[in-house]
Amino acid sequence: MNATANVLNPINEPGDLPGDFAIWVFIFSELLVFGIFFLAYAFTRANHVELFDLSQLTLDRTAGVVNTLALLTSSYFVVRAVQAIRLGHAKRCSHWLWAAQMMGAVFLVIKVGEFADKFAAGISLSTNAFYMFYLSLTAFHFLHVILGMVILAAVALKARRGGYSAGNHHGVETGASYWHMVDLVWLILFPLIYIIH
Amino acid sequence: MRNSITTRIPQPSTITATWLFLMGVTFATYLLAEKGLGGLTISGLVLGSVLLKGHLIVDHFMDLRRTKMAWRILMAGYLALLLGLLFLAYWQAAH
């Protein structure tokens, strides 16, 4: 009985990673994959500096920085949600999570606008090496934002229904950890694609 | 019991200060690019700022400060190795 209860409501020991360990296996795998993509971008650029720098100038840098600030703010809201549930404030936790998703939605809308502009200009994956990386990297990250928002929505709904408490908030920490990974990856991607030349 | 919970929760003011700092550094790097500044030194500066921001996200947002040292070393190692190799690529491009 106790064993079943422990499996259904795992309790982290001091020093354990926050949330479910399985999400951390996923997070470390994702960081590895994104890291390889980033290195492929940078070392390909080393052989085509002029092409990459000229192509980079066609990007909307302001949209990029607004999106970065939106993701940072959403991560901040998620931290506040975790703080709220640790103090037993389930509804407040849910509100912070919805606020985080609003910022995630801002990110998606701006990114769709950027994609639409590029496609309208006839730019595709095969236009050149820079756009191949730009479109594939940002689209791959875009899908992670959508998945993160689905996870946060599920956690927010459960929090709203009283499914988490000060003593049982494993799921909130699990969702939060994933969302911070999405933010962390963008923090590296943004300067790489939009800023450094 | 209540005390044991509250003592392991970071103060909202600390988290808010971290968030504002991250926003400020991000906007500063944007301004560098808007002014047309580039080259290896600026690339190193920007990648260094990403390393700092990454550590802040990992420690304060992901809350890995309270985890076992091995997890923190793994994340710190990932960031240092990745950003170091990225700088190497930009150094290679500049030479």
pLDDT in the model for residue A33 = 97
Query: Chain B residues with CB inside 8 Å of A184's CB?
Result: 54, 57-58, 62
pLDDT in the model for residue A10 = 55
Positions in chain A short of pLDDT 70: 1-14
Quick check: A46 and B86 CB within 8 A? no
Quick check: A45 and B78 CB within 8 A? no
Which among B10, B50, B82 has CB closest to A35?
B82
To the nearest whole Å, the CA of A95 is away from the closest chain B CA by 16
pLDDT in the model for residue B24 = 97
pLDDT in the model for residue B34 = 93
Positions in chain B short of pLDDT 70: 1-10
pLDDT in the model for residue B9 = 59
| Chain B touched by A86 (CB under 8 Å) | yes
ipTM of the complex: 0.89
Structure confidence by residue, pLDDT tens digits, A52-80 = 999 999 999 999 999 999 999 999 999 99
pLDDT in the model for residue B5 = 45
pLDDT in the model for residue A12 = 64
To the nearest whole Å, the CA of B77 is away from the closest chain A CA by 12
pLDDT in the model for residue A11 = 58
Q: Which amino acid is at B21?
A: F
Query: Chain A residues with CB inside 8 Å of B48's CB?
Result: none
CA distance readout (Å), A173 to A83, A150, A177, B42, B55: 10, 15, 6, 36, 19
Is the Cα torsion angle A48, A52, A37, B82 positive or negative in sign?
A: positive
Residue from A174, A5, A10, A7 nearest A78 by CA: A174
DSSP assignment string, B46-87: HHHHHHHHHHHIIIIIS-GGGS-HHHHHHHHHHHHHHHHHHH
**Per-residue exposure over A24-44, b if at least 16 CB sit within 10 Å of its own CB, e if not:** beebeebbeebbebbbebbbb
Structure confidence by residue, pLDDT tens digits, A120-146 = 999 999 999 999 999 999 999 999 999
pTM (2 d.p.): 0.91
Closest Cα in chain A to B90: A46
**Distance from C-alpha of A137 to C-alpha of A115, rounded to nearest angstrom:** 12
pLDDT in the model for residue A171 = 95
Residues near B94 by Cβ (< 8 Å), separated by ≥ 6? B39, B40
